A and B are shown apart, each in its own frame.
Chain A
Amino acid sequence: MDKQLYLSSSPHIHSGETTDKVMRLVIYALLPATLLAIYFFGLPALSTLLICTLGCIGFEALSCKLLKQPPTIADGSAALTGILLAFNLPPSIPWWIALLGAATAILIGKQIYGGLGYNPFNPALVARVVLLISFPVQMTRWTAPAPLASGIDAITAATPLGEMKTVVSLTGKLPELANSGFMDYFTGNMGGSLGEVSALALLLGGLFLIYKKVISWHIPVSFLGTVLVIGGIFWLVDPGRYPSPVFHLLTGGLLLGAFFMATDMVTSPVTYKGMLIFGFGCGLLTILIRLFGGYPEGVSFAILLMNAVTPLIDRTCRPKIYGQVAQQA
């Protein structure tokens, strides 16, 4: 026995779970939606995805270098943030806005707090909201899907939610698109942010994450359930004025938000009970903004607002500890 022995306190085995494995699985789960986005929106989508992803990795590497910290890009979290940011932008956004978004997400959304694990807000959503407020025109110029093979140039189009908001505010009545075209909404054949359009692809990815136990069901179920129930109540009260819960579910960024943004571990509660409350809050705020707010879509704002109360939720939802029982006399 010439070699030295390891001395350490127990346990001496490990599950093999790693942070980069978690990030990698989330990226895999986003693949179907990524491929469909490229299929529907063509080269602009591909270039936006590349700019955001490489931009995020680049800015993180740069910040580690400037701050003389060990490099962290290998953990995959920067790449994931980049993909999620691209998913939240119009497919043909100017390249420099996308790059500015990447800088915002990584530098202001994450590194400024100390990097992975310390940021209170979802970095990709911070960037999206900063861009939405700073560049309202470019951030709401949507393109209609033009499949790669069709050879048609991008034409501008409204999102179903945007169209609904405009028509309802002008006429007080729902437009036709709130009651039809659900199959297109389901597959993703509509205007919208790059990665949010295909309910089918997002659902596949989300279920994969739950099956792989990367995320638990609590946030998506309570988020979506709240939207369905509250949206459903409004719809039952006045179906001419409020859209059906299925319309809510399939349009906008709800599924992307519920499965991939709200479930960001760093910025959501750590206990199951807390996750249920968090999801409920996200759902409630989303519906209120969609039906009564100034913006057509409220998922990003809802999640960011709930990110802000996550520490409070964590504090109030401490699990009941074993042995907190009355002592036998």
Chain B
Amino acid sequence: MSILIIADHDNRELMPATLKAITAGAQLSGDIHILVAGSDCYNVAQQAACVKGVDKVLSAENAVYEHHLAENLAKLVVSISDNYSHILASSTSMGKNVLPRVAAVLDVAQLSDVTEIKSEDTFVRPIYAGNAIATVQSSDPIKVLTIRITSFPEASINADAVQIEVLSETIESHVSRFLNEELTKSDRPELTSAKVVISGGRGMGSGENFQLLQGIADKLGAAVGASRAAVDAGFALNDLQVGQTGKTVAPDLYIAVGISGAIQHLAGMKDSKVIVAINKDEDAPIFQVADYGLVEDLFVALPNLEKALE
């Protein structure tokens, strides 16, 4: 039996998140096959073919797969699922959207956000916003898992290219249509894979004040994040949200600015190696998880921090 991993990509580049799912897949026994479904995405298939641990790439190129619509992609995955013991994807918005749909058609459970692979059938995952850790054993014939990307390192990408098999099947549902996409353009590192993240909370006071984080982020090569409160208040875009229902990050350095430290925010960042909290409220719960805490008004602290990093 083999392991199938659904690649996450934008039709040009393979996402680092998939390299992490491949690392997770390599801990299971069996050949690893990567499905690259998309439109004009042969480059991505070639990148996948050079990832260490990959035994075969399946390439499905068709306009109907361009935006990874769940209806089409799930059916494609189900159509090739026969020889697989495990089907994996990273816990990205693509993985979370498509994999439960695959599992339900296969009449098996799906395990979300797996942080550790104990054996072929036993997996660890956080529940209750990471306030409890469940070890779950599955007796389903096919295990369908999404992989928490902060829990596994990226597989290396310099192996000899393996075979790329072209899938010609076209599955189109006609019941859903892509209309448009507004993607945030940024020169900064991607939030979930950045080595340093600086996040702002409600204490930032406004969207303009997020500029105060940008200069520091530039100096540290950091990604900028936000708490749910800051996103709800309209200070930051939704794709910057770190927390239980946003993104999970685990950088070497996480700087929380004006963030009180609600349970749901901690769920998204408490696995960071070093946590710094800057908040004028010395009783803020964020200080209970911070390695270094500074009780100071952020409007004083941030300009000083930017200067100190010069």
Q: Do A and B come from one complex?
A: no
